[in-house]
Structure formats: C-alpha cells, structure tokens
Structure 1
Amino acid sequence: MSDQFKSHRCQTGFSSPPCYDAEGATESCDTLGVVPKQAQDVARWRKAERIRLRDARQALSVAARKKIGAALAGHLQQVLKDRFAGARGMVLSAYWPIKGEPDLRPLMATLHDAGVTVALPVVETRAAPLTFRHWTPETRMVRGDWNIPVPPPTAPVVTPDIALAPLVGWTADGYRLGYGGGYFDRTLATLDPKPFVIGIGIKAAQLATIYPQPHDIPLDLILTEIGLHSG
C-alpha cells in the first residue's frame, strides 16, 4: 500500500463488497473519490488479503471449523433474542457456506422451526443486486452461480429484515472484506428499508483497516466465535 494512498484514502463510513472474485480497480476518480492509482493499490492489497485469509481459514481442521460454527450459532441466537425477540415472523437471509466459511445450516433449520422465514441470496443476473429466495430444510436446492447450492426459481422471493454477511476479513469499526464482486453492497443500496446486517466471521480474520472506498457499506454489527465486536 503506497504512502500516497494512505494519506489520501477515502473515509466514507462504508464497508467492502461481499461476493465472489472480481474487485474492480479501474473506476475513475469521480466514481471512487480517489485517483485511479490509489484505487488500484487498494484493489491489489485487498486481493492479496483475500487469498491470505481464505487460505488460513481453509487450513483449519474440521473439528476447529465445527467448534467455530457452533460458537457463532450460539452468539447469533442470543443477538436475535436480545434485539429481535428471536426474529419470529421476520425474514432472515443466511448463506450457504463455501470456502471454509462458518457453517450455520443447523441454526437455519432451528430458526425455521421457530417461525423465522429463512432466505438465501441468489445471483440471478451478473453484476446486479441479489435476489432472496425462501429456504426450508425441505427445499430441493439447485446449483447457482459459482456452483453454490441455491433455492430453485420456484421458491418465493422475499425481502430480508435481517441479513447475514459472511466475512473474509473484518475490522473493529464494522468494515467487511468480502469476495470482491460487489453484489452485497449493490443489493443493500437498492433495499428500502435496509435490512439489519450482521457480519459472520472468525476472530483470526480481523484487520486493522480495509482502506474504505465510496462503494463500501458498513455492517450493523460483527460476530465471531468469541462474540460481538461492534454494534
């Protein structure tokens, strides 16, 4: 990261984009609020950090991942109880775990049984906002973009009240390093009212900063296996 960038980086109160593997680095100064060279510095740094953090996460043992997932599920249940009376009657968007992400699928089934409408995000158009489709433990999943299981096109479209955002990296002030496709930020920009967004990650993936850019949208709080970190 260049010293020039550090002295001129945008401080916008937004967080990093969440989905898959194509961080843009060629936007104009008018788009990003920084000169192109500085934006390219950020994009290169984020790409390197994604690789490092994903490799470290995938190197965890199966037992360690299971322990992390169970701890996160407990913390999330407590947050939902304290802030949303358990979220019964609400729509919660979860995620299908990939690339070593914490597995909350058992909790998704528990929440469904407790009266929460659980949804999963679906990429139905490239470089467009996500669609959220209803999921139940009986849903017959199909393969979506990046070969990720998603509900079928016949599953009802819903609008989340609460959205879980898997984290590749995160900062103590609520910023998120995602996969780089920008889908989650695009989606949040279109939802009114915006859902309450909870980042789900591991403590070891904490970063000092993600060098926020104008397209980055902040999370409402962040949870890791050791508990609540912001919000």
Structure 2
Amino acid sequence: MLTQPTDLAEWRKARRAELIEARQAIPVADRQAADTQLAEKLDATLGDVSGRTISLYWPFRGEPDLRQWAAACRSKGAALALPVVVAKATPLEFRLWEEGAKLERGVWNIPIPSDTAKVVAPDIVLAPVVGLDQQNFRLGYGGGFFDRTLAALRERGHKPRVIGVGYAQQRMETIYPHEFDIPMDDVAIVEI
C-alpha cells in the first residue's frame, strides 16, 4: 500500500517536472510515430464523429500533436474547439476553432481562438496528461483548470466524454487524487 507524501503539493510539483522533462526528451520522430498510433486509437474509440464537437488542445511541451487527426475529424463532419484559460482558478472556456480562423496567443503563448469565437460545450474533451494513474486520474500542470471545467460542465447538466491522451511513460501508480480531482472516462495512451 502506498503512503501519501507528507507534502503532496511538493511531491506533485517534483513528479510533474520529471515527467515533462522525460516527455520532452523523447525524439520528435518517435513522438510523431506515436501520435499516428494515438490517432488510430482515438478513431477506434470514438467511431463516427460526424455532428460532434471535439475539444482538443494545442500541443505544448512535448504533448501529443493531434492537429492532423483533428483536421481529419473536421472533414468527417466534426466541429473542433480549443480550451482557453479565461482567468486564474476559473473553468476553461471552449471556443470553436474553425478552419482558417486566425488564432491569438493565450496563456504560455499557446494559440487560442479569438474572444469573438463561439463558446461551445464539447461532446468529447481530449485532455493531455503530464501523468496518469491506474484509476485514470490525470496529473496536469497544476492549475486545476480541467477538473474545475469538468465540474462546472456537470453542474450545468453537460457531461462530455473525457479522454486522457499521452504516452505510456506518463503512467504512474497514483497521483494521490484530491477530492476535487475527476478521473478521465477513457485513456488513449501508446508506447514509444
């Protein structure tokens, strides 16, 4: 049985730094090959995406790059959205990302749709993981944005299918979840 660290915040911070460093050390060509496998896994998991709104993310710090997969989903009739940090300690906003739409720089210079883009409630949320435990709890960057967002959506009666996306090296036994952590419904994880 695992014993929770005395200082969980420090443990998570250290673990997060190790996992991000390890992910960024994976050669780009290996990540690209893994991203193709992730796309195939997502296709098998989701089936027909026509008429559904999928929230993905702009890849950051070695995260899987699923933009080509997303473009294929768009061509099959799916709508795409990107998450946007509106303010610290608040839920994310999902803005429609239409083909050819100009993107702006958001938090950490991550491209986001402009504030005039339509805000949507996605049917499917792809959540990049820094770490992922055996119960599908996600270790993210530490801002609590995804958990806060999922809780807010559920309060409004909307429960999207949430899929944690990453590489097998990001698996861990536990993140020692807090009471407010929300497990992913599914995971798309591939070996590199």
- Considering the TM-score relative to the shorter chain, is it more than 0.5? yes
Q: 1:187 aligns with which of 131, 135, 149?
A: 149
Gaps of 5+ in 1: 10-36, 227-231
In the alignment, structure 1 residue 51 sits paired with structure 2 residue 13: no
Partner of residue 126 from structure 1, selected from 63, 70, 88: 88
1:42 paired with 2:8, answer: yes
- The residue correspondences of 1:170-181 to structure 2 (distance < 5 A) are 170-181=132-143
User: Could you tell me which residue of structure 2 aligns to residue 12 of structure 1?
Assistant: none
2:22 equivalent to 1:60: no
Deviations 1:121-147 (A, max 9, x none): 011122111110011231211001111
Matched, 1:108 2:70: yes
TM-score, normalised to structure 1, is 0.78
User: How far, CA to CA, are the matches of 1:189 and 1:207 in structure 2?
Assistant: 24
Task: Quote the Cα distance in structure 1 between the aligned partners of 2:88 and 2:177.
Answer: 24
SS at match of 1:121: strand
Give 1:229's aligned residue: none
For 1:123, give the aligned amino acid: V
Paired residue for 1:203, among 159, 168, 172?
168
CA distance in 2 between partners of 1:62 and 1:92 (Å) = 25
Deviation per residue, 1:144-182 (Å, 9 max, x gap): 111110011121111011100000011122111111000
Q: Which of 130, 135, 147 is the equivalent residue of 2:109?
A: 147
2:60 aligned to 75, 98, 102, which one? 98
Contact 1:75/1:223, CA 8 A, preserved across alignment: yes
Give the share of equivalent positions with the same residue, in percent: 48
Hey, which bits of structure 1, 4+ residues long, moved more than 6 A?
A: none
Give the partner amino acid of 2:44: Q
Separation of aligned partners in 2, 1:56 and 1:110: 29
Task: Report the 3-state secondary structure (helix = DSSP H, G, I; strand = E; otherwise coil) of the residue aligned with 1:207.
Answer: coil
1:38-75 Cα deviation digits (max 9, x unpaired): 4xx11111111111010011011111110111110110
Higher relative contact order, chain-length normalized (CA < 8 Å, sep 6+) = 1
The total of aligned residue pairs comes to: 188
Q: Distance in 2 between matches of 1:70 and 1:42?
A: 35
Q: Distance in 1 between matches of 2:24 and 2:141?
A: 15
TM-score (norm 2): 0.93
With 121-130 and 50-59 compared, the bigger mean Cα shift is at 121-130
SS at match of 2:187: strand
CA RMSD after TM alignment: 1.6
SS at match of 2:89: coil
Determine the C-alpha separation between the residues in 1 that align with 2:99 and 2:40. Answer: 19
Distance in 1, Cα, partners of 2:29 & 2:131? 21
Would you say the 8 A contact 1:109–1:136 is kept in 2? no
| Distance in 1 between residues matched to 2:88 and 2:140, nearest whole Å | 17
Given that 1:120 and 1:151 are in contact with CA atoms closer than 8 Å, whether structure 2 keeps it comes out as yes
- Paired AA for residue 145 in structure 2: Y
Q: Which runs of 5+ in 2 are unaligned?
A: none
- In the alignment, the residues of structure 2 paired with residue 55 and residue 137 of structure 1 have an alpha-carbon distance, to the nearest angstrom, of 32
Give the equivalent residue in structure 1 for 2:45.
79
